[in-house]
């Protein structure tokens, strides 16, 4: 019995030591290691508080790093499940490398200097997150709608940031939510109506635009209703009506003619309408919904490689280390703009030349968009009044585009300064110069390259140091090849005349709204509502020089430019004409505007002729 007892104790002690050894010396998950490395690499640590070392990759070592907590899963594997990096003074964008921490349930990044948008694909990055605290940072933009897909969330703290827009309606569908706060932001609209959760007004405090729930009741106008419902109803109505018309007319008239030009079948017209709406829907999804990250198929990757090889002969391919160096490792201090697709940085080359570098988010879904914009801008290089692409980088899953730097920003910021900023004076001759430059750029697009922009606004009109206007943001553009075949990147197939009528005339209408914005100084949304008064003003040239106070920017009145303002109003009214076929071409618009400035200031537009 004594012998058996000793044997039992030896076996027990050996087993205990073996299990302790496994826990002590087992390696941490490769995913968790990659997560921590990416997180440390992507964030600036000016206070040197993120003292993580990866010399020892055992679980026992990594799980003792400051802010890191681990747990054992059912297979006795040690996994990282909590990150608490509170009040460390960290700087940078939301660390997308967090997606590698696939067992993460708690993430607390509060009390730092993180900035930029909360990622649209937050539900993909934090699939099992129970507690998310991003409070007391400088996150901006809208709360992504996909936050409602992080279904395990119990606690969501977004207070004390710079968030704008409305709180996503779907957030009420979070089944486990217990704590929620968005106080001290710049949010607007109705607050969520949680079914089994009472949220106090303190959670919404200091958001002057919020209403409903524990706050003041929302004031709705009867004629307004949900935009998404209205859009869906309208699109459904148009498609169903068009389909009915198609069935009826196809039997009676197999074709219709457009102003004596090439015949267009009704069926082709309906298909083009549906394709145009699908294109708009895809663009909205890119801007509003979480991008669906997916790995490129081998065939797709091979095709991208072949296209990149061709492009290298046309434009400079830059080294990632070089771009990282000139942007100071993509420092926050170099950020000049942020969007749904990526972040824009200012950089300066050794010869003093400034660059604007757009770094796309780390998501393979954006590969197609990167390739399209790259190929489009390469095709448009050396064109007038279009932003110039100077180089690109595709390396280590990083996608970057380098543009000429536009020191005077965009037209929108000049016309509509942010709250608290002084209004910047823009004289009338400068406004005419900007409008003429935009018209010239669009004339090149339409008549030289047969490209439509489809997203013209004052925000995409950039101004260089001489206030020369340049068109940017080609993510929604569409083009035909010179031989009329469909472009393989942004596929568009259809009748050429209808293409001109539908797409080009849409660009011209948008340009007209920008011109009205230049004349009135009003916000684009206000211009869109009031532009019908201009559309119906078919005799503007016969009007007196006394303008209605609401119509003209007050800083322009009485400066001796009344006649020119009337001329530009006439051009704008033609561009926003309710019937597309009545709108002029951009070449006609450019020639009209050119007559308003000195002859020696009018740039030649080259050998461009009407294509309609």
Catalytic residues: 455
What would the 3-class secondary structure string for 68-129 be?
EEEEECCCCCEEEEEEECCCCCCEECCCHHHHHCCCCCEEECCCCEEEEECCCCHHHHCCCC
- Cα angle 84, 86, 91 (rounded to 5 degrees) comes to 110
Quote the crossing angle between the two packed helices 505-520 and 428-443, to the nearest 10°: 170
CA distances in angstroms from 599 to 280, 376, 569, 596, listed in the order given: 40, 32, 21, 9
* Chain length of the chain: 612
Count other C-beta atoms under 10 Å from residue 116's C-beta: 19
Helix, strand, or coil (residue 221): coil
Residue with tokens 């109505």: 237
Nearest to 131 by CA among 110, 161, 160: 110
CA distances in angstroms from 98 to 126, 158, 274, 280, 431, listed in the order given: 8, 18, 39, 32, 46
Burial class (CB in 10 A: 0-12, 13-18, 19+), 84: middle
Distance between CA atoms of 493 and 599, rounded to whole angstroms?
41
CB neighbours of 250 closer than 8 A, spacing ≥ 6?
266, 267
Percentages helix, strand, coil for the chain, rounded to the nearest 5? 40, 15, 40
Q: What H or E segment, with its residue span, contains residue 471?
A: strand 469-471
Contact (CB, 8 A) for 54 and 36 = yes
């Amino acid at each position: 019995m004594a012998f058996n007892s000793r044997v039992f104790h030896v076996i027990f002690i050996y087993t205990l030591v073996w299990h302790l050894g496994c826990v002590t010396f087992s390696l941490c998950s490769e995913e968790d290691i990659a997560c921590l490395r990416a997180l440390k690499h992507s964030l600036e640590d000016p206070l040197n508080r993120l003292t993580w070392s990866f010399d020892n990759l055992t679980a026992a070592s990594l799980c003792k790093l400051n802010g890191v907590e681990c747990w054992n899963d059912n297979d006795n594997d040690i996994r990282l499940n909590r990150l608490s990096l509170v009040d460390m003074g960290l700087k940078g964008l939301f660390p997308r490398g967090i997606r590698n921490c696939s067992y993460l349930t708690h993430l607390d990044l509060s009390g730092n200097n993180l900035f930029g948008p909360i990622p649209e694909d937050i539900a993909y990055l934090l699939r099992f997150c129970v507690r998310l605290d991003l409070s007391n940072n400088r996150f901006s933009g809208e709360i992504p709608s996909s936050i409602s897909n992080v279904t395990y969330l119990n606690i969501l703290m977004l207070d004390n940031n710079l968030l704008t827009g409305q709180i996503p309606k779907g957030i009420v569908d979070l089944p486990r939510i217990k704590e929620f706060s968005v106080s001290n932001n710049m949010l607007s609209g109705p607050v969520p109506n949680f079914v089994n959760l009472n949220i106090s007004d303190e959670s919404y405090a200091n958001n002057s635009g919020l209403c409903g729930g524990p706050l003041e009741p929302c004031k709705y106008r009867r004629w307004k209703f949900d935009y998404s419902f209205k859009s869906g109803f309208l699109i459904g109505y148009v498609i169903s009506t068009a389909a009915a018309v198609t069935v009826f007319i196809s039997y009676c008239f197999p074709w219709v003619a457009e102003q004596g030009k090439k015949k267009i079948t009704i069926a082709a017209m309906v298909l083009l309408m549906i394709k145009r709406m699908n294109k708009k829907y895809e663009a909205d999804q890119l801007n509003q919904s979480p991008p669906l990250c997916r790995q490129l198929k081998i065939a797709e990757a091979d095709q991208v490689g072949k296209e990149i090889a061709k492009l290298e002969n046309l434009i400079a391919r830059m080294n990632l280390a070089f771009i990282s160096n000139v942007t100071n490792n993509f420092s926050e201090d170099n950020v000049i703009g942020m969007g749904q697709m990526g972040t824009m940085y200012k950089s300066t080359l050794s010869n003093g030349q400034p660059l604007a570098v757009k770094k796309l988010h780390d998501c393979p879904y954006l590969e197609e968009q990167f390739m399209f914009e790259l190929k489009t801008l390469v095709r448009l290089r050396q064109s007038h009044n279009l932003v110039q692409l100077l180089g690109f980088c595709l390396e280590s899953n990083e996608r970057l585009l380098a543009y000429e730097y536009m020191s005077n920003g965009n037209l929108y910021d000049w016309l509509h300064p942010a709250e608290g900023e002084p209004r910047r004076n823009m004289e009338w001759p400068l406004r005419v110069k900007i409008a003429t430059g935009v018209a010239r750029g669009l004339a090149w697009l339409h008549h030289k390259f047969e490209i439509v922009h489809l997203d013209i606004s004052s925000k995409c009109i950039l101004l260089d140091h001489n206030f020369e206007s340049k068109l940017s943001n080609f993510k929604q553009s569409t083009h035909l090849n010179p031989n009329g075949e469909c472009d393989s990147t942004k596929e568009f197939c259809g009748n050429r005349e209808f293409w001109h009528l539908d797409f080009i005339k849409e660009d011209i209408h948008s340009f007209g709204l920008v011109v009205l914005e230049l004349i009135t100084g009003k916000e684009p949304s206000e211009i869109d509502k009031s532009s019908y008064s201009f559309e119906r003003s078919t005799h503007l040239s016969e009007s007196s020089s006394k303008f209605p106070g609401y119509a003209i920017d007050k800083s322009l009145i009485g400066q001796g430019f009344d006649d020119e303002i009337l001329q530009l109003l006439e051009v704008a009214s033609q561009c926003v004409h309710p019937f597309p076929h009545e709108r002029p071409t951009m070449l006609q618009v450019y020639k009209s505007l050119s007559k308003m400035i000195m002859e020696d200031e009018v740039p030649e537009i080259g050998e461009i002729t009407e294509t309609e």
